Amino acid sequence: MHDLIIVGGGAAGLAAAAYALDKQIDVMVVYENLGGKINQKFTMHADTDFLVGHILVHLDVPGAEPEAPPRLGADTVHEFERQVTTQRGRALFDRVRKVAKQGDVFTVETERSGALQARTVIIASGVVPKQLDVPGARELVNHGLGYSPVSYARALAGKTAVVVGSTPRALRGAAELARTAAQVYLVEPTIMPADDPLAVVLSRRPNVEILEGFHVIEISGDSSVDSVTVERDGKVRRLTVDAAFADVGLAPNSSMVKDLVKTDAEGFIVVDGHNATSVPGLFAAGDVTTVYGEHTLIAIGEGARAALSAHDYLLAHE
Amino acid sequence: MHDLIIVGGGAAGLAAAAYALDKQIDVMVVYENLGGKINQKFTMHADTDFLVGHILVHLDVPGAEPEAPPRLGADTVHEFERQVTTQRGRALFDRVRKVAKQGDVFTVETERSGALQARTVIIASGVVPKQLDVPGARELVNHGLGYSPVSYARALAGKTAVVVGSTPRALRGAAELARTAAQVYLVEPTIMPADDPLAVVLSRRPNVEILEGFHVIEISGDSSVDSVTVERDGKVRRLTVDAAFADVGLAPNSSMVKDLVKTDAEGFIVVDGHNATSVPGLFAAGDVTTVYGEHTLIAIGEGARAALSAHDYLLAHE
């Protein structure tokens, strides 16, 4: 029986694990993707002053290109990863099917390693961005088509981008890109309330065109996105762009606790200010929770607090 | 006029600044202590197997002693510090007297540099632990007398410590120390409710003695704490210890906004899940807020979220 099982190996899960190891807690991390989002590579066509034609910009290779700043927090997550993986028996590559509680003991059912037991559990299994279901979307994902506009604002300076979505994140992404991009198209399948302050700012921006009620019908490009075709009531427009970003919602990876714990309507796990869920001894952290802010540094803090709270629980239940 | 002024140069303030610089926001950090708590040094006497007599253990020199693990998050904070200080005009060594708001503009009154203006402000000015006011306390602070028991649990393995205080942090600290220390004395000036789960666990520990209703009257030692003298109703006991930890409460550094923003009864700044305060455009992060968990990693996450929210505000108020 472990003191703590952490479900998920992204920023939140690894921060929780590093904290737990520091406190000499018997911890096991069950992960499918160690490092989580920080491993995602994104490339796009980019004209530069010093190269003719198209080059690929690897945004997450620090120092490789002038447009490639290291992503804030990535080094810290790599260091946590190192701390967890250099200790024997602390990380298990597997998928968690279900978490159940009987008495004071949690059972974590895995796909390949059977059932594990623990006195506390932290769910840090993250989200999956909802994907566009149109021709070209599957082929071009991470090649000019991204699901997080805010991460790439710097690389789009002077370029043209389209943002698809009516979520607050989509609007924020468009606003951030518009500060430096030459042209931003905002494709809003659902029309925003006119008094949303960000919508008002965007509507005044000379380099932003808002396409209300339009839907994406195709994404095109050879090795990277070249154009996005949108449509409303039979009217079709083809937008020539350097990159396309969709934010049509996030799907939390919370199915393993859906019968156990309180979630919101979309499945995000409800946590309090201690990262505690509705089940004593069960904590959650990072994007899978109702907490605000999908950023590596924020996930690190949430993971650490979940581990602190799990530790509090363990100390009070010895 | 700056986009953002950050008050405080600890983990939360520096994380907020690093986030803001990454977003190319015009930011200024006004600090009195760059790095904050991570710069604190703590030493104590320690008998070791390989040295006769007393040596000084420097707990925050990574790798210097086997008992000296690097403090989790300290490297990250140093990296943020480097990012902030290598850019010209982003950090100002000064004390903030008062923050006021007129229209949409904040005025930050400093002691030596006059008044600065900004569109948003993040307060990340931290806390000061309340000090014991007894003979020896002032002389021995950080020399065997600390104000955060949980940071030093590892170094106390097999040793004897006293924890002073009735706060939840004091109880947690005592419980954590008791897992590895030979003997822990818990001096509780205020008697805890008997049904507190942590109090119950502590009362059952064979290596914990709870001294209810006792007060510290003296702390003694030559270059580091050797003993703590306590008293109740004229009964005096002298406890021989390797270290003493007091947690008699934290005082938030929030006086510069006390007339502006909503705080709790003790002066901690009330923030919501976006790190927003009661004043639009004014955010707060870290130990100065009502948020749970005084840990470097948590402060990093809170600082980043405050900066994200300040950025949201700036985007929506251009």
Determine the pLDDT at residue A54.
30
Residue A73 half-sphere exposure toward CB, CA atoms < 13 A: 28
| CATH number among 3.20.20.120, 3.30.565.10, 3.40.250.10, 3.50.50.60, domain A131-246 | 3.50.50.60
C-alpha closest to that of B15 among B117, B86, B99, B84 = B84
DSSP-derived pairing of the beta strands B27-31 and B91-93: parallel
Question: Cβ distance A94 to A110 under 8 Å?
Answer: yes
What is the DSSP track for A175-195? HHHHTT-SEEEEEESSPPPTT
3-state helix, strand, coil in chain B (%, to 5): 25, 30, 40
Measure the CA–CA gap between A90 and A274, rounded to whole angstroms. Answer: 24
Q: Domain coordinates of chain B in residue numbers?
A: 2-41+70-128+250-316, 131-246
Q: In the CATH hierarchy, which fold is given to the domain comprising A2-41+70-128+250-316?
A: FAD/NAD(P)-binding domain (3.50.50)
pTM to 2 decimals? 0.89
Q: Which of B273, B302, B312 sits opposite A301 (nearest CB)?
A: B302
DSSP-derived pairing of the beta strands A91-93 and B282-284: unpaired
Question: Cβ distance A35 to A98 under 8 Å?
Answer: no
Measure the CA–CA gap between B98 and B110, rounded to whole angstroms. Answer: 7
Name residue B237's amino acid: R
For residue A8, pLDDT over 70 is answered with: yes
Contacts of A303 in chain B (CB under 8 A): 297
Residue B27 half-sphere exposure toward CB, CA atoms < 13 A: 30
pLDDT tens readout for residues A168-207: 889 989 999 998 899 999 998 787 777 788 888 898 999 9
pLDDT tens readout for residues B157-201: 899 999 999 888 899 899 999 988 999 999 987 877 777 888 888
Q: Which residues contact B120 (CB under 8 A, 6 or more apart)?
A: B3, B4, B5, B106, B281, B282, B283, B310, B313, B314
Measure the CA–CA gap between A66 and A63, rounded to whole angstroms. Answer: 7
Chain A residues with CB within 8 Å of chain B CB: 15, 18-19, 22-24, 69, 72-73, 75-76, 79, 153-154, 172, 175-176, 179-180, 197-198, 201, 273-274, 291-293, 295, 297-305, 308-309, 311-312, 315-318
Mutate: best of A21, A315, A317, partner B, most B CBs <10 A? A315
Mutate: best of B192, B271, B318, partner A, most A CBs <10 A? B318
Looking at every residue in chain A, the average pLDDT score rounds to 88
Determine the pLDDT at residue B35.
82
More confident: A315 or A54: A315
For residue A312, pLDDT over 90 is answered with: yes
Two structure tokens written together for B190: 């205020």
- What number is the ipTM of this complex? 0.88
C-alpha closest to that of B205 among B181, B231, B187 = B181
pLDDT tens readout for residues A59-74: 433 333 333 445 788 8
Q: Which helix (H) or strand (E) holds B311?
A: helix B296-316
As a residue count, chain A comes to: 318
For residue B248, pLDDT over 90 is answered with: no
B219, with CB counted inside 10 A (0-12, 13-18, 19+), is buried
CA of B127 vs chain A CAs: smallest distance (Å)? 18
Measure the CA–CA gap between A279 and A99, rounded to whole angstroms. Answer: 11
Determine the pLDDT at residue B152.
72
Determine the pLDDT at residue B108.
98
